[in-house]
């Protein structure tokens, strides 16, 4: 059977009108989440159905192929993405059930009982380490659950962790977004890493301040400004140095370690004069008292220490491919594999759709193993309770699981029927203004797919070709796709579904979306303006290769 050839302007000779119609599923998703505050699994299902109907009726994709692309995306959402969420929340639930999380809470209070600094310590610094090693929603799943467990309002726990998970995303999962982009575009990997490393540190240095201002306003943030600056400068400085002089693999991991150590050391000698707690919390009666020994604290943290080590080892560039080879079950997806052909100039290329089941290479498997190993250190908590807790966790997450599957299915439908490419081509037609819109393209890609890597693969070549056509640096526009994409992570329905699952806010997807939307837009506008300046008057900021 011959593959169906994508068309990108089915409605008129003006790509703009086709792009307006192609955005219908996105408008619907925005409206249902932000205005109607609809549950995520319902909003995702309606948007997916709209993409299927629009793609079949107007873009002309065969119904069977459209359904095949949706099922492919839905299953990819279940594994490896949902697999990460289930195992991460399972580890957290075990620490809560066993009482070990009370020790973690007390140990953090002894470092700082201030909610602003706890958000920076857990959401920003520890979350960045997990992003650097695993990516794909893992940091939000872990840190949002931890902040909620510490006593944060669940909406703030979810929203703050989504905002915090911005600057590290470009170098997440040991640099995969940039490595994949360089391979897809045949551009210099180091050049892309350097440009991203000259954009995102400007954002990274203010993210801790941004988190605090979001929680309590600028005036009260001044009370902890020294600590916020220590965290921001430690992260941004290390990120700049590693991305510019080493490459994309380690900036997040080392930046997070330096930030954790610097913030811990600083808070040993400096404390804010007033401690901030949320208005609905009991006011602190005095400095936190450390009720546990060093051995008990290390034991309580051990599940997360094991998790961090295993995820780091598993995700290492020389190890992960070997794990992928050990168990690799490739499935040529029914009704989708080589059933869609993408146009590149006058040439149509059939796209493969092979689902690779690689359990040993999935971050969720490393987290599962960390939970199993943790049973040897968690007191009075055996395998029977752990298995029961695992089942309870799946029941707890049943609707977020459907949400994630629907959202990833939506992304694959829009990619298969050509609607995503239609949107990209419309933005690419902006001429000399394109550097301003290049990050917006990345933002759109991450909103749709939930992944900076997927966004880079979706729009990377479009960025390169358009940049060459208007005479600006193709590496800059490709890098801007990555940098802009990180600002879309916090509003991606896939990421929001993970945060909902982690904090138990079922049905509140719309509230989280409203919480993060304007933060996302503000950060995106900063990256867009910076890219525009780097394309023309600040061209000297670009690396020379």
501 or 225, which is more confident: 225
Q: What is the pLDDT of residue 280?
A: 80
Closest by alpha carbon to 530, among 486, 476, 465? 476
DSSP string for 401-453: HHHHHHHHHHHHHHHHTTHHHHHHHHHHTTGGGHHHHHHHHHHHHHHHHS-HH
Q: What is the pLDDT of residue 283?
A: 65
Q: What is the pLDDT of residue 377?
A: 95
Average pLDDT over residues 358-381: 93
Q: Which residue has the tokens 């009260």?
A: 220
Which pair of tokens denotes residue 184?
Answer: 């897809």
Burial class of residue 152 in the structure, from the number of CB atoms within 10 Å of its CB (0-12 exposed, 13-18 middle, 19+ buried): buried
Instruction: Enter the DSSP assignment of 542.
Output: S
Q: Is 90 exceeded by the pLDDT of residue 137?
A: no
Q: pLDDT averaged over the chain?
A: 91
pLDDT band at 37 (very low <50, low <70, confident <90, very high): confident
pLDDT band at 419 (very low <50, low <70, confident <90, very high): very high
Q: What is the pLDDT of residue 316?
A: 81
Q: Is 80 exceeded by the pLDDT of residue 191?
A: yes
d(CA 135, CA 175): 10
Q: Is 80 exceeded by the pLDDT of residue 5?
A: yes
> Does residue 80 have a cis bond before it (omega within 30 degrees)?
yes
| Contact status, residue 426 vs residue 115, Cβ threshold 8 Å | no
Burial 324-351 (b: 16+ CB within 10 A, else e): eeeeeeeeebebbbbbbbbeeeeebeeb
- Give the chain's radius of gyration (CA, Å): 23
Closest by alpha carbon to 85, among 454, 362, 308? 362
| Contact status, residue 444 vs residue 474, Cβ threshold 8 Å | no
Tens of pLDDT, residue by residue over 149-168, are: 988 999 999 999 999 999 88
Q: Give the sign of the dihedral formed by CA 175, CA 176, CA 177, CA 180.
A: positive
Q: What is the pLDDT of residue 249?
A: 84
Which DSSP helix (H) or strand (E) runs through 77?
Answer: none
Instruction: Enter the DSSP assignment of 6.
Output: P
Which pair of tokens denotes residue 118?
Answer: 């706890």
Tens of pLDDT, residue by residue over 59-96, are: 999 999 999 999 999 998 898 888 988 998 899 999 99
Share in percent of the chain as helix, strand, coil (round to 5)? 75, 5, 25
User: φ, ψ for residue 313 (rounded to 5)?
Assistant: -65, -45
The number of distinct structural domains making up the chain is 1
173 or 250, which is more confident: 250
| Contact status, residue 237 vs residue 201, Cβ threshold 8 Å | yes
pLDDT band at 193 (very low <50, low <70, confident <90, very high): very high
Lowest mean pLDDT segment, chosen from 202-216, 284-298, 330-344, 524-538: 284-298
Q: What is the pLDDT of residue 84?
A: 86
Q: Is 90 exceeded by the pLDDT of residue 450?
A: no
Domain that holds residue 229: 4-541
Average pLDDT over residues 3-31: 90
Q: Is 214 helix (H, G, I), strand (E, B) or coil?
A: helix
Residue by residue, what is the 3-state secondary structure of 96-117? Answer: HHCCHHHHHHHHHHHHCCCHHH
Q: Is 80 exceeded by the pLDDT of residue 98?
A: yes
33-47, 368-382, 490-504: which has the highest mean pLDDT? 368-382
Q: Is 80 exceeded by the pLDDT of residue 136?
A: no
d(CA 110, CA 477): 45
Closest by alpha carbon to 239, among 191, 190, 205, 188? 205
Percentage of residues in the chain with pLDDT exceeding 90?
64
pLDDT band at 1 (very low <50, low <70, confident <90, very high): confident
């Amino acid at each position: 059977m011959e593959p169906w050839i994508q068309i990108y302007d089915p409605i008129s000779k003006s790509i703009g009108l086709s792009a307006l119609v192609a955005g219908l599923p996105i408008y619907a998703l925005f409206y249902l989440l932000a205005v109607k505050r609809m549950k995520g699994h319902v909003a995702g299902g309606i948007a997916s159905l709209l993409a299927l109907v629009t793609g079949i009726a107007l873009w002309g994709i065969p119904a069977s192929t459209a359904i095949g692309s949706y099922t492919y995306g839905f299953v990819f959402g279940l594994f490896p993405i949902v697999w990460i969420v289930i195992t991460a929340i399972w580890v957290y639930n075990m620490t809560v059930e066993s009482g070990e999380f009370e020790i973690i809470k007390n140990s953090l209070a002894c470092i700082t009982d201030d909610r602003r600094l706890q958000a920076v310590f857990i959401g920003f610094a520890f979350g960045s380490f997990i992003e650097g090693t695993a990516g794909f929603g893992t940091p939000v799943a872990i840190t949002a659950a931890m902040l909620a467990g510490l006593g944060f309002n669940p909406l703030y726990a979810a929203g703050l962790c989504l905002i915090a998970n911005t600057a590290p995303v470009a170098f997440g999962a040991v640099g995969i977004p940039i490595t994949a982009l360089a391979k897809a575009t045949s551009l210099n990997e180091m050049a892309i890493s350097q440009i991203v490393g000259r954009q995102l540190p400007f954002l990274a240095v203010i993210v801790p301040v941004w988190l605090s201002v979001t929680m309590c306003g600028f005036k009260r943030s001044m009370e902890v400004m020294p600590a916020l600056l220590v965290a921001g400068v430690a992260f941004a400085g290390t990120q700049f140095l590693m991305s510019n002089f080493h490459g994309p693999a380690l900036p997040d991991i080392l930046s997070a370690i330096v930030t954790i150590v610097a913030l811990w050391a600083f808070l040993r000698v400096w404390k804010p004069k007033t401690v901030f707690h949320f208005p609905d919390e009991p006011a602190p009666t005095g400095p936190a008292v450390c009720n546990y020994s060093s051995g008990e604290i290390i034991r309580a943290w051990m599940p997360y220490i094991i998790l961090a080590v295993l995820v780091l080892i598993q995700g290492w560039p020389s190890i992960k491919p070997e794990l992928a080879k050990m168990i690799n079950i490739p499935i040529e997806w029914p009704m989708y594999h080589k059933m869609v052909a993408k146009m590149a100039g006058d040439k149509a290329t059939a796209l493969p759709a092979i689902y690779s089941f690689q359990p040993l290479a999935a971050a969720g498997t490393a987290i599962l193993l960390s939970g199993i190993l943790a049973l040897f250190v968690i007191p009075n908590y055996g395998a029977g309770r752990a298995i029961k807790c695992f089942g309870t966790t799946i029941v707890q997450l049943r609707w977020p699981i459907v949400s994630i599957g629907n959202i990833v299915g939506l992304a694959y439908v829009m990619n298969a029927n050509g609607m995503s490419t239609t949107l990209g081509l419309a933005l690419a037609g902006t001429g000399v203004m394109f550097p301003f819109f290049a990050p917006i393209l990345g933002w759109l890609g991450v909103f749709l797919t939930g992944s900076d890597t997927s966004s880079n693969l979706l729009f990377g070549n479009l960025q390169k070709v358009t940049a060459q056509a208007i005479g600006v640096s193709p590496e800059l526009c490709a890098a801007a796709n990555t940098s802009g994409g990180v600002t879309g992570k916090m509003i991606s329905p896939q990421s929001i579904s993970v945060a909902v699952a982690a904090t138990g806010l079922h049905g509140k997807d719309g509230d989280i979306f409203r919480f993060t939307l304007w933060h996302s837009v503000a950060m995106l506008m900063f990256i867009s303006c910076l890219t525009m300046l780097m394309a023309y008057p600040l061209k000297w900021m670009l690396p020379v290769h």
